[in-house]
Amino acid sequence: MADTVLVTGGAGYVGSHIVVELANAGYSPLIIDNFATSLPSMLPRLRRVTDRTIPCVVGDVRDLAVIKRLFAEHSITAVIHCAGLKSVGEGEQKPVAYYDNNVGGAIALVEAMADANVKRLIFSSSAAVYGQPDRNPVTEDAPLRPASVYGRTKRTVEQMLEDVSSSDAGWSIGLLRYFNPAGAHPSAQIGEAPSGTPNNLVPMLAQVAAASAPEIAVCGDDWDTPDGTGVRDYVHVMDLAVGHVAAMQYLARVPGSTTLNLGSGRGHSVLEVVAAFERACGKPIARRAAPRRPGDVASCYADPSRAQDVLGWRAARDLDAICADAWRWQTNRHR
C-alpha cells in the first residue's frame, strides 16, 4: 500500500504543488487545511491534476484534539508541515498571530506525531532565517540572524525540531529553507491565490499585467546591489515540490535532522524580474519607485550545493519558466 503523507496547508500555494508531486511519485497525500489563506476550490483542481480525490480534513494544526484524531484515524507514515502564515510585512504588525500559528502549530503537530509514533517530518522553513547574509550565495551554516518576525518564527521552529531530533534518535527531520517560491503548475490548474493585494513580487506582477493593479511598486532602488533593487533567488514551485519528494525518500533512510537550502543558486533583481515578466506576458509593465519595506534585505540567494549532494536535487526551471507559468496561471485561474 502507498505511504500516506500528511501535508499540512496542503491546499495552499506550496503545499498544493507538493501534493501533486507526492501523488505522481506514488504516495497517498492527505491534507489538513484551515483555509485561512487558501481556497477550498483548490481541492477539485487537485483532483483534475492528479486524477484522484485527495482526502482533506478541514481543521487547524493548533487544535491538538483534531490533529490527534487525524493520526488515530489514518495510517500516516510521514508529515510535510507547510501550514503557516508567510507575509513578512503582516508579521511585523501581528507578531503574536505569527508566533501562535507558526510556532504553536508546530508544537501541537510534533506532540501529536510523538503520541502516534510518527517521526518523519519535513518542515517548510525559509531563507528568511538568514536575514541579510554576510556573503552570497548563502550556505546552510551561515549565521542565522532573521530580520523579520516571520523569519524568527521559522528559526524558532527549526531550533525546536533540532532539539527534538537530539532528544530522540528515532526522528528523521528535514528542515527545508525555501528561497523565493514562484511560478505555478504548468497545467495552470493550481498556483498562488493570494487574497486581496499580493505581498510577493511575482503574483503582484501578474496582477499588474492582467490590469487588476495599475503599476508595480519597486520597493527600494537604493539597495547595495548592481541596479539598486533587491536581489532574490526565485525558485520554481514545481522544483520545490520535486525537492520535497526527494527529501521524503532520503528521510526514509536517514535519521537525524538535515537542513537544506532549496533555491536556484541565482540572484535576480526586482528590475530583472519585471523584464522577465514583460517577456512572458508580451506587454510593458508600469512601475514606480517606492520606499523600502520593513524587514526587507538587499540581497539573498542560495548556495544549493548541499541539496544537490544529499538529495541529487537542483532547480531545473529558470526565471523565464517561472514567469511564463505564473502568467499562464493568472490568465486561466478564474476558469
Q: Which one of residues 64, 114, 142, 217 is an interface residue with ligand UD1 (CB under 6 A)?
A: 217
Residues binding ligand UD1: number (CB under 6 A): 25
Span from 19-27, 120-128, 166-174, 239-247 in contact with ligand UD1 (CB under 6 A): 120-128
Q: Is 18 in the site for ligand UD1 (CB under 6 A)?
A: no
Beta strands in 85-146 (DSSP E): 120-126
Q: Which one of residues 112, 297, 302, 307 is an interface residue with ligand UD1 (CB under 6 A)?
A: 297
Q: Is 178 in the site for ligand UD1 (CB under 6 A)?
A: yes
Q: Which of 13, 27, 98, 150 is catalytic?
A: 150
Residue 179 DSSP label? -
Q: Is 277 in the site for ligand UD1 (CB under 6 A)?
A: no
Spatial distance between the Cα atoms of 57 and 34, rounded to a whole number of angstroms: 8
Least gap, CB of 126 to ligand UD1 (angstroms): 4
Q: Is 246 in the site for ligand UD1 (CB under 6 A)?
A: no
Category of 183 on φ-ψ map: left (φ > 0), alpha (ψ -120 to 50) or beta = left
Q: At what angle do helices 13-24 and 42-50 cross, to 10 degrees?
A: 20
CB 12 within 8 A of CB 184: no
306 phi and psi angles, rounded to 5 deg = -65, -40
Q: Which one of residues 270, 307, 319, 322 is an interface residue with ligand UD1 (CB under 6 A)?
A: 270
CB 220 within 8 A of CB 292: yes
Number of other CB atoms surrounding residue 2 within 10 Å:
12
Q: Which one of residues 8, 28, 200, 259 is an interface residue with ligand UD1 (CB under 6 A)?
A: 200
The residue sitting closest to ligand UD1, measured at its beta carbon, is 230
Least gap, CB of 296 to ligand UD1 (angstroms): 5
* 46-50 contacts, C-beta under 8 A, 24 or more apart: 46/11, 46/16, 46/19, 46/20, 46/190, 48/187, 48/189, 49/20, 49/185, 49/187, 49/189, 49/190, 50/19, 50/20, 50/23, 50/24
Q: 4 or 180, CB closer to ligand UD1?
A: 180
CB 247 within 8 A of CB 174: yes
Q: Which one of residues 62, 81, 185, 232 is an interface residue with ligand UD1 (CB under 6 A)?
A: 232
Number of other CB atoms surrounding residue 110 within 10 Å:
21
Q: Is 204 in the site for ligand UD1 (CB under 6 A)?
A: yes
Spatial distance between the Cα atoms of 186 and 289, rounded to a whole number of angstroms: 32
Active site residue 150: yes
| Sites for ligand UD1 among residues 136-175 (CB under 6 A) | 148, 151
Q: 34 or 148, CB closer to ligand UD1?
A: 148
Name the residues that contact ligand UD1, by CB under 6 A: 86, 88, 126-128, 148, 151, 178, 180, 199-201, 204, 216-220, 230, 232, 270, 293, 296-297, 300
Q: Provide the annotated active-site residues.
A: 150
